[in-house]
Structure 1
Amino acid sequence: MKRRERTRQLIELGGLVQKVGLIELTDDDRAVLLGAFLAVAAKLQGEEREQALTLWRRRGRRAFQQE
């Protein structure tokens, strides 16, 4: 991945964190955010991967549509 593409991707992902209010909800506690992301990653490595992806994809699409 080129540097410019990676920078854009990181900015967009940070925007999602901000959009859902995680910064305020965690008082910008990076350890809490990392712990939450680790929990998501663990779920995606488990047997419930497909169910989680389906659920989260639906929720995400609805949220984008409500904008």
Structure 2
Amino acid sequence: MRNRHSARIAREDKRDWVVKRRERTRQLIELGGLVAKAGLIDLTDDDRAVIFGLLVEAAARLRSEDRDNALLLWRRRGRRAYEALAPEREPRP
């Protein structure tokens, strides 16, 4: 019973730093979900150096003169991939 009470208090904590930490945690979980949805975990056998290398490569491309073309291409691919997953996705509250 004491643990439930402590958990409830933690969930309802509205201090600025707690709210920011919670938001950052949610963002990181969502981004990890995107890595999983893209199939990168299975395709790389969960090799985090490879996944990180892919992300570093993407960041380098976004720093280049080809940024706008890369964003346009990746946005289109991402939207198509989301549409293909639509029947699987759970509706967001």
- Output the TM-score relative to the length of structure 2: 0.69
Query: What letter is aligned with 1:8?
Result: R
Q: Alignment length, in residue pairs?
A: 67
State whether structure 2 residue 30 is matched by structure 1 residue 40: no
Structure number, greater radius of gyration:
2
Rounded to whole Å, the distance in 1 between the matches of 2:37 and 2:68 is: 25
Counterparts of residues 1-67 of structure 1 (less than 5 Å): 2-67=20-85
What amino acid sits opposite 1:37 in the alignment? L
Shift of 1:66: 1.5
4+ runs of 1 displaced by more than 2 Å? none
Structure 2 unaligned regions, length at least 5: 1-18, 86-93
Give the C-alpha shift of residue 65 in structure 1: 1.3
Q: Percent identity?
A: 67
The offset of 1:10, in angstroms, is 0.4
TM-score by length of 1: 0.94
- CA–CA distance in 1 between the matches of 2:33 and 2:59? 19
RMSD of aligned residue pairs (Cα, Å): 1.1
Instruction: Give the AA of the match of 2:61.
Output: K
